[in-house]
Amino acid sequence: MARGAHLADWYRTAVAAPAVIDRGRLDALEARENARFVAERPKSMALLERSRRTMPRGVPMSWMDDLYEHPPVFVADGRGAYLTDVDGHSYLDMYVADMSAFCGHAPDLVVEAVRRRMAHGHQFLMPSEDSIAVAEHLAGRYGLPKWQFTLSATQANTEVIRLARAATGREIILMFDGKYHGHGDATLVVLEDGEVVPEEFGLPRWITGQARIVGFNDIGALEAALAPGDVALVLAEPAMTNAGFILPEHGYHEALRRLTRDAGTLLAIDETHTLVTAYGGLTQEYGLEPDMLTIGKSIAAGVPLGAYGMTEDVASHIAPPGEHHVVSGVPIAQVSTGGTLFANALSMAAGRAALLGVLTVEAFERTAELGRRMAEGLRASIEAARLPWSVVQVGAHAAYFFTDNAPRSGAESRAVDDPRLRALMRVWLANRGVWESGWWLGPTVSLAHTADDVDGYVGLFGQCLADLVTAEQMQD
């Protein structure tokens, strides 16, 4: 997800999409749909009024209010592919909590594992046997031999950065324009007029000196940025998911791996979002060979769990051969990792149930088929409305762009975005029972979705476009 000040700038400055949607029509629909949204949710609006007295912006985490242009609604329930708000509206969930609910809501196996673990205690600051099963499973699934656990993907990325710095003796992290890797200081930087700047308020200016950002799919820029030999780590999604859905061009990953090796730079692949696209993520799908790999969100069906895998070589910096970590309250020389609740028995039990019982090969084959069905349906609706838009899809995930040429980089994606239009489509769909993704992401089919769910979504998407496009435009 892209966030905060950066998101606000994008909203203000993004150029309007090609003038195919009449702006007068957009104004009228916006007023109608936003008014309907508020009027039909009196309980949520009353809760919001109450919650504003004790929580800034009326939400327990402020970007719950950033996610959409319409006011936040309070959730009551979730089951399978659907969630219900406190006013009793049921929504087909195409956002799946920014991909963290990819397993569907309340999957039986995970509910049962969590119930069992809670009944026997869940927080000991001791390893449970589930953690071995999860680490063994992840090693086979993603092809890296050693694993550590956190509570979120942000924390996994934070630790991977520290490990890379310890392993290389360098400080600089290289990332790609349009990325999001969580809210750790080191990754909260963006490009502004070619300069690296802090992404949001509250970040020290000096963090910009620790980061380099280049455009995705630009091998020349990557080579130049690695040339000084001072980059500890390249942190990259295998396909970018936080500025639409941007696929790597042919040969890009080969170049990335070759150039990082030549520069003595470690490579971490962040599969936090893309893990929904294929059983072993795009790392296995593309045959990538990262030094480290980070995941989170849906690996324990949304119960807090983050993880990172690493090569034996990288792991040696956590467990140096022959070194004894015997301490009694005295800090010893080691990489700074860990937290009291990290790898708690509840997270590991949920992770074991989700990874081994829910996120199966067959489940991925099914969602990939549904993902294709969704993409074809979206394309057909776009064609019927005669809009010059495009759809990108891999496995369960898709994104639509307001251009017929799918973007190759974050900059290209920003240039064709139309946040007002996207916000309008979202509220239009919410008013008719679809919880569409945030505007930067695109829809995802969860493991609980059926073909009927996908057809229902695509049908409403088509109706939404027909409402957006005026009758004269349809005839042109």
Ligand X SMILES: Cc1ncc(COP(=O)(O)O)c(C=O)c1O
Question: Which residues are at the interface with ligand X (CB under 6 A)?
Answer: 1, 98, 152-154, 157, 180-182, 237, 242, 270, 272-273, 296-297
- How many whole angstroms separate alpha carbon 441 and alpha carbon 337? 30
Least distance to ligand X from the beta carbon of 341, Å? 14
Least distance to ligand X from the beta carbon of 173, Å? 14
Write out 83-99 in H/E/C secondary structure.
EEECCCCEEEECCCCCC
Residue 394, classed as helix, strand or coil, is strand
Q: Are 102 and 276 spatial neighbours (Cβ–Cβ below 8 Å)?
A: yes
Give the angle subtended at the CA of 334 by the CAs of 308 and 182, to the nearest 5°: 35
DSSP 429-474: HHTTTEEPPPTTT--B--TT--HHHHHHHHHHHHHHHHHHS-HHHH
Nearer to ligand X, 1 or 358 (CB): 1
Least distance to ligand X from the beta carbon of 150, Å? 9
Least distance to ligand X from the beta carbon of 1, Å? 4
Least distance to ligand X from the beta carbon of 145, Å? 22
Nearer to ligand X, 309 or 462 (CB): 309
- How many whole angstroms separate alpha carbon 408 and alpha carbon 101? 27
Write out 165-232 in H/E/C secondary structure.
HHHHCCCEEEEECCCCCCCCHHHCEEEECCEEEECCCCCCHHHHHHEEEECCCCHHHHHHHHCCCCEE
Q: If phi over 0 gives left and psi between -120 and 50 gives alpha, with beta otherwise, what is residue 104?
A: left
Long-range own/partner contacts, residues 183-188 (CB < 8 A, 24 or more apart)? 183/3, 183/154, 184/154, 184/155, 184/157, 184/158, 186/158, 186/161, 186/210, 186/211, 187/157, 187/161, 187/211, 187/235
Least distance to ligand X from the beta carbon of 151, Å? 8
Least distance to ligand X from the beta carbon of 242, Å? 5
Nearer to ligand X, 44 or 294 (CB): 294
What does DSSP say about strands 266-270 and 306-310: parallel, antiparallel, or unpaired? unpaired
DSSP 133-172: HHHHHHHHHHS-SEEEEESSHHHHHHHHHHHHHHHHS--E
DSSP 277-305: TSTTHHHHHHT---SEEEE-GGGGTTSS-
Two tokens, residue 405: 């040429």
Least distance to ligand X from the beta carbon of 343, Å? 15
Least distance to ligand X from the beta carbon of 304, Å? 8
Nearer to ligand X, 159 or 417 (CB): 159
Nearer to ligand X, 89 or 422 (CB): 422
Least distance to ligand X from the beta carbon of 111, Å? 21
Task: Please give the backbone phi and psi of residue 343, each rounded to the nearest 5 degrees, phi first.
Answer: 60, 30
Nearer to ligand X, 235 or 263 (CB): 235
Nearer to ligand X, 72 or 182 (CB): 182
Nearer to ligand X, 442 or 462 (CB): 442
Least distance to ligand X from the beta carbon of 126, Å? 24
- How many whole angstroms separate alpha carbon 72 and alpha carbon 63? 10
Nearer to ligand X, 235 or 378 (CB): 235
Nearer to ligand X, 302 or 377 (CB): 302
Nearer to ligand X, 167 or 268 (CB): 268
